Amino acid sequence: MQWFDAGVNLLDRRFDADAVLAEAREAGVKRICMITTHPDEWEAAASLYAAHPQQLCYTVGVHPHNAKDVRPEHYTQLRSVAAAPGVVAIGECGLDFNRNFSPPNVQREVFREQLKLAVALGLPVYLHERDAFADQQTILNEFAADLSGGLAHCFTGDQATMQAYLDMGLHIGITGWVCDPKRGESLREAVKALPLDRLILETDAPYLFPKSLRPRKRNNTPATLPHIATQLAELLESSTAELSNTSYANSCDLFGLKR
């Protein structure tokens, strides 16, 4: 079986990128989407992609935590770097009102500008949301009809929230959160109603190590993706092979890549 991990924070300082990628290949994780969250990461992502073009693709964008750092010139830069080889989506972008590392009004402005760019460039949008769904939905609805798809990255919500994203034509990113019967209870119920043609698998490594996987490790890696899929297959009364085939194809289609 082959796997596509559609969400890895590969530039995180906790990672030795080459070692992580080698371990992923050994686990059958053939392709990885590398997430960027700040303008300072865009150049580094391009360099790492250039070293591993067969295994990597990547996003370019600004996480809501970092919205306060955005300057007008960054939008011009973002438009330019988004045209580079290997770029498959705009983001990680969205709203996060949990701790408001950036003021909400600034988050909204930066989110709208990235959605405008995604529409203009015909790229999918790579979404983050925490404690801000009502505002996020309102802003997304302004652009949903013109977006070239997108991913509700690291989705942890309930069925109603999932359906709202599906109604906007988006894919749903499932992580190791689904392996936690307590914290993931709402998600574990929601995924039973998720159409398989909208399923994307991701780890969000180094975060969200699957709670059901032993031995417990400090950092999550793409190599845990097959375990996440096995747990999800049990919930869906499906097979791991089917989830491998479906999620891989869905990721390639969403990101405009050859299967």
144-179 tens-digit pLDDT? 999 999 999 999 999 999 999 999 999 999 999 999
> What pLDDT is attached to residue 198?
98
pLDDT band at 138 (very low <50, low <70, confident <90, very high): very high
Longest dimension (CA), the chain: 50
CA end-to-end span of the chain: 14
> What pLDDT is attached to residue 61?
98
To the nearest whole number, what is the mean pLDDT of the chain? 97
Cα–Cα distance for residue pair 163/185, rounded to 1 Å? 17
Asked if residues 59 and 91 have their Cβ atoms less than 8 Å apart, the reply is yes
127: nearest Cα among 100, 101, 157: 157
CATH of the domain at 103: 3.20.20.140
Cα–Cα distance for residue pair 132/135, rounded to 1 Å? 6
pLDDT band at 183 (very low <50, low <70, confident <90, very high): very high
Considering its fold, how many domains does the chain have in total? 1
| Residue ranges making up the domain that contains 18 | 3-255
> What pLDDT is attached to residue 202?
98
> What pLDDT is attached to residue 248?
98
> What pLDDT is attached to residue 228?
98
> What pLDDT is attached to residue 10?
98
Asked if residues 153 and 126 have their Cβ atoms less than 8 Å apart, the reply is yes
- Residue 232 Cα distances to 8, 161, 200, 240, angstroms: 19, 19, 12, 8
Q: What percent of the chain has pLDDT over 70?
A: 100
254: nearest Cα among 2, 61, 1, 4: 4
What does DSSP say about strands 3-8 and 125-130: parallel, antiparallel, or unpaired?
Answer: unpaired
> What pLDDT is attached to residue 147?
97
> What pLDDT is attached to residue 192?
97
User: Which is more confidently placed, 65 or 215?
Assistant: 65
> What pLDDT is attached to residue 52?
98
111: nearest Cα among 90, 82, 88: 90
> What pLDDT is attached to residue 46?
98
Q: Where are the alpha helices (DSSP H) in the chain?
A: 17-26, 42-51, 72-81, 104-121, 133-143, 159-167, 185-190, 225-236, 240-255
Cα–Cα distance for residue pair 17/159, rounded to 1 Å? 35
Q: What is the pLDDT of residues 42-97, one digit of tens each?
A: 999 999 999 999 999 999 999 999 999 999 999 999 999 999 999 999 999 999 99
